[in-house]
Amino acid sequence: MRLLSISRGKAGPLFGLNHPDYSSVASAIHKKPVSTLSLATPVEIKPLGIVGDEQADLSVHGGLEKAIYVYPIEHYAFWNELLSRETNQIVDLQPGSMGENFTIEGLLEDEIFVGDKMTIGDLEFTVVKLREPCFKFNAKMKYKGAAKAMLQSGKSGWYLRVNKPGTLIAGAQITISPGQRITSIASQNKALYQRGNQKDLWD
């Protein structure tokens, strides 16, 4: 298990300043890698996340409990295929495209539990909860079914709390220290999708 990429982004208009209905909707979902395997630049991590990273809506992203968003690289093939089919154009997403801060390899949602500790390099984090996608994710993906597809597929990623801040580079190894292991990210994902079905959110 390892960290492949560290990404950050600035908050800005999601739909563009001239959109007739949504010009005031802001997002920082457009993340760009600042440390990669080919250019392992040191990045400073503080309790509120990556230095220089922003969140537009702190009620759903960011803060101490959602300081870092993690996403497995293994899911990218799914999204490339789905979006290429649904948008009728070739899609080749790069790390950071899900809005994640850490793109990782070797760890999936059914293997990680709320309360588990993740040590990445010399830094320590706690797994807090899954990512809950919304209409902004649909807009970023240019596909109105993206949020539903994320939960239906179980490919949600998860948020981390920063326990031990410091400096991190891409390529750092990841180790897991299990917590109570009561609720996996996969089971959280399934429950959220089922609640959405009950409320007809996906119709």
Domain CATH for 180:
2.40.33.20
Is 101 domain-assigned?
Answer: yes
* 113 strand-pairing partners: 184
Q: How far apart are CA 175 and CA 87, in angstroms?
A: 38
CA distances from 35 to 5, 104, 140, 167 (A): 6, 12, 22, 11
Identify whether 70 is part of a domain: yes
Structural domain contains residue 203: no
Q: Is residue 99 part of a domain?
A: yes
User: Which residue segment(s) compose the domain that 33 sits in?
Assistant: 2-198
Q: Strand 2-8 to strand 102-105: parallel, antiparallel, or no bridges (unpaired)?
A: antiparallel
Q: What domain count does the chain have?
A: 1
Kindly report, residue by residue over 138-174, the tens digit of the pLDDT: 888 889 899 999 999 999 999 999 999 999 999 999 9
Which residues make Cβ contacts (< 8 Å) with residue 139, sequence separation at least 6?
14, 15, 27
Q: Are strands 123-130 and 2-8 parallel, antiparallel or unpaired?
A: unpaired
Taking only Cα atoms into account, the Rg of the chain, rounded to an integer number of angstroms, comes to 16
In a domain, 186, yes or no: yes
Q: How confident is the model at residue 60 (pLDDT cuts 50, 70, 90)?
A: low
Model confidence pLDDT, tens digit, residues 98-135: 999 999 999 999 999 999 999 999 999 999 999 999 88
